[in-house]
A = this chain, B = another copy of it.
């Protein structure tokens, strides 16, 4: 397994590091970032929060803008931020910001030309955690969170793999991708026209059928310009209310879709995850 260290920054007494590796699942080189809290210096194995970013993002957006390292350092939690799609000159792409590179939607594509590389679901669920747990001082207590497309990814993946995650959370998630323009465009391209194949990637479809719940927290800004058209937060609130699923959905007055929103509430999310990671 090749694992190349690309950068390293001391940060809040811990370390922010970027790595590149060859992904067998995605069939290309992939970059990710990891924050290791100061506790690892004393030989401690720490739990891991996986952060899935939104459209157009790389491993860098969350690490640079969310201000999460301060609290992760205090709580002794590692954070892993993968890229949002396979990347490279030889990888299928689209000129639009919401399809192709930077827009993997955390699914396993079945349609050409996407199906030769776009398998972000398997990458996030299996390959990346195996890599992290082999090469870094972490234990197998995992949490998963994300923003927008990554909020969809985090909840969908936790709902399908409840044995793998202690908790899940999301900012501004695409709650019901099979019924919004972003999701319909991406799922048509990656999965084809048969909507039956889309349902296993939709949080609001998965949640009412969940056998083993994963506790969750969602924050949604009420001034989010994508709220009315893309996010379908009300559909998520509806299935949570119907089922009693242990997911708290909070609406935050005045906040938008940006990292200024994430930064404002990331402390709540990290403390929420740490509480369940320690349980």
A interface residues (Cβ-Cβ under 8 A, vs B): 9-13, 16, 64-65, 67, 69-70, 221, 223, 252, 254-256, 258-261, 263-264
Residue with the greatest number of chain B CB neighbours at <10 A, chosen from A13, A67, A70: A67
Number of copies: 2
**Distance in Å: Cβ of A139 to nearest Cβ of chain B:** 25
**Distance in Å: Cβ of A25 to nearest Cβ of chain B:** 30
Given the complex of chains A and B, what is the CA–CA distance between A221 and B260 in angstroms?
A: 27
**Distance in Å: Cβ of A53 to nearest Cβ of chain B:** 15
Q: A13 contacts B264, CB within 8 Å?
A: yes
Residue of B nearest to A10 (CB): B254
A261 to chain B: which residues have CB within 8 Å? 9-11
A10 to chain B: which residues have CB within 8 Å? 221, 223, 252, 254-256, 260-261, 264
Residue with the greatest number of chain B CB neighbours at <10 A, chosen from A9, A67, A254: A9
A259 to chain B: which residues have CB within 8 Å? 64
Q: A258 contacts B65, CB within 8 Å?
A: no
Q: A256 contacts B9, CB within 8 Å?
A: yes
Residue of B nearest to A221 (CB): B10
Q: A11 contacts B70, CB within 8 Å?
A: no
Given the complex of chains A and B, what is the CA–CA distance between A65 and B260 in angstroms?
A: 10
**Distance in Å: Cβ of A206 to nearest Cβ of chain B:** 31
A221 to chain B: which residues have CB within 8 Å? 10
Q: A64 contacts B64, CB within 8 Å?
A: yes
Select A263's contact among B11, B252, B254, B264, beta carbons within 8 Å.
Answer: B11
Residue of B nearest to A264 (CB): B12
Contact A70-B263, Cβ < 8 Å, known A10-B223, A221-B10, A223-B10: yes
